[in-house]
Amino acid sequence: MIYLHKQLNKISKNLFYYRIYLAILVIFLAILLGVFGYMIIEELSFLDAFYMSVITLSTVGFGEVQQLSGEGKIFTIVLIVIYISVFTYAVTSISS
């Protein structure tokens, strides 16, 4: 019985770490999506695209590096929805 209890604790601990790693991975992939999207749609440099992705994800809203085109604005709207979903997933995954 003690052995089973130890094994369940070990599985529970591993599941917790798995959820944390998965949440970090999903956030990282969402940022990469933003970076590559801004690089392709707005033809930004990697640094500017990364900056735009981070300020969009963090909802800081400092302003755009350059004026966005119509496609860039639509991409930003979609990216915000994706980031909200990813952030909600990450928080609920870690807190559960």
List the CATH number of the domain containing 87.
Answer: 1.10.287.70
Q: What gap in Å lies between CA 73 and CA 81, rounded to an integer? A: 13
Q: How confident is the model at residue 95 (pLDDT cuts 50, 70, 90)?
A: confident
pLDDT of residue 7: 66
Global pTM?
0.77
What's the mean per-residue pLDDT of the chain? 86
The domain total for the chain is 1
Q: What gap in Å lies between CA 60 and CA 53, rounded to an integer? A: 11
Which position has the higher pLDDT, 5 or 40?
40
Which residue range forms the structural domain that includes residue 52? 27-95
